[in-house]
Structure 1
């Protein structure tokens, strides 16, 4: 019954609109398996009096799952007893933390905070990626570059794709560099989990023809997988010569 009440509270908060405040979370953290860590949630703007905070965990392709609810100065309510190693800590009225004890590889995910009280609308954080390294089941990614046509010149390529396969856990960062300048991908699919071995794969496609300047001498795909301590850079021209 208690969890049902909390679920109803969450639904009410989600439909109550936006706020004049903004929750800020660091973009990413990396910690070793078996250690403890704390994820922060900081409100920018006016101080929230007696805030209530909720925490959520999200894996690729899934909706955020509820971890716990903590009302300032009150008890903590978990979604289920197995989550009691997740502890909510209030440092001030504008700073909330989620302490995770004895972290494991499976804790690698995107974490969201949600703060509110009776006088303001709920304020979502912008999410923080947690990567856990040192686990026996961690697998480093394999990285491949592909193009829409055969050419040794990057300026002649309409599209290039960066295929990243066989990595675990799912938290990963893939970015493009055009002559040293960071460029976002135009189409990203994944990460998708394999049913055979539970590893993940994803693809990031860059449309070079859409850029005002398309005569790039260097097209790089950079892949960062903190759980396996892997940082791979693939240059399209090098890959073309290798093939």
Structure 2
């Protein structure tokens, strides 16, 4: 899920000239424990060789952490806390790769690439969620639904909460769907909360008005946790009253 912390950075760095190129990242990458992950940063409109590339790692609700910078003169600057397992590669005229060697569950996070040109041309990628599976510390989530009303036929606003808890690492997505498509409604997703014993929880709340209840029984909460190879669907028939 995309944390609000990155929004502040985007607002500070954005200006009209940055729209001349686009930067795209794969939304999800899932690799086994102990392998090498490759995270791609694709440039649309320009030559990747002309740009300086920086990579950042974001865990849960924390602010992104700088990992390294790969300048357009091929020099590389690592952060003081960045391990030597990170390797930047320019493999074509439009793609930059960040390799992360010997990954563990602790490497599961959201990774951002940032492109600059002459230190005055910032363009952010849209982030890649890296999930490492097969590690001994990985825990699958449990999922439950709670409703603000006894029946979906009741009038007025209906709030449905989808709670995922007991999972590790903290890379998890909650999506509301109807008949396989994203549900159009007001959705509020909370922060990741650490429950203790290195496990997390998160809640997403769907607000349903009286005029969009027609297909409500087809609405499902989908929870995706790639590190445990888990996808869970919960329909409204799983709900119970929140008292």
Shorter chain as denominator, the TM-score bin is 0.7 to 0.9
CA 215–102 in structure 1, closer or farther in 2 if over 3 Å, else same? same
**2:46 aligned partner:** 46
Tell me which residue corresponds to 2:233: 233
Q: Secondary structure at the match of 2:91?
A: strand
Is the 1:168–1:199 Cα contact (8 Å) retained in structure 2? yes
Is structure 2 residue 200 aligned with structure 1 residue 190? no
The Cα of 1:126 is off from its aligned counterpart by 0.7
- Which residue does 1:4 correspond to in 2? none
Structure 1 pair 16/236, CA: closer, same or farther in 2 (3 Å)? closer
SS at match of 2:137: coil
Runs (4 or more) in structure 1 with deviation over 6 Å come to 154-157
Q: CA RMSD in A?
A: 2.4
Is the 8 Å Cα contact of residues 50 and 93 (structure 1) preserved in structure 2? no
CA distance 1:234–1:153, change in 2 (3 Å): farther
Larger-gyration structure (1/2)? 1
Which one is further off, 97-106 or 175-184?
175-184
Name the counterpart of 2:130.
Answer: 130
Q: Is 2:228 aligned against 1:213? A: no
State the alpha-carbon separation in 1 of the partners of residues 138 and 236 from structure 2: 27
Q: CA deviation at 1:200?
A: 0.8
Q: Which runs of 5+ in 2 are unaligned?
A: 1-8
Residues 218 and 45 from structure 1, CA distance in 2 versus in 1: closer, same or farther, beyond 3 angstroms? same
- TM-score normalised by structure 1 residue count: 0.85
Residues 102 and 37 of structure 1, relative CA distance in 2, 3 Å threshold: same
Could you give the per-residue CA deviations for residues 26-61 of structure 1, whole angstroms, max 9, x where no partner exists?
A: 111100010001100011113355321110000111
Q: Is residue 56–residue 112 contact of structure 1 (8 Å, CA) maintained in 2?
A: yes
Q: Distance between the aligned counterparts of 1:49 and 1:179, measured in 2?
A: 44
Are 1:67 and 1:79, in contact at CA under 8 Å, matched by a contact in 2? yes
Contact kept in structure 1, 2:89 and 2:97, CA below 8 Å? yes
Is contact 2:144-2:238 (8 Å) kept? Answer: no
1:34 aligned residue? 34
Higher mean C-alpha deviation, range 97-106 or range 18-27: 18-27
Distance change (3 Å), C-alpha of 1:43 and 1:180:
closer
For structure 1, the 5+ residue unaligned runs are: 1-10
- The alpha carbon displacement at 1:186 in A equals 1.2
* 1:165 equivalent in structure 2: 165
Tell me the number of residue pairs that the alignment of Structure 1 and Structure 2 aligns. 227
Q: What is the alpha-carbon distance in structure 2 between the residues aligned to residue 179 and residue 96 of structure 1?
A: 37
Inter-partner Cα distance in structure 1 for 2:58 and 2:170: 11
Q: 1:137 to 1:123 in 2, by over 3 A?
A: same
Distance in 2, matches of 1:45 and 1:111, equals: 22
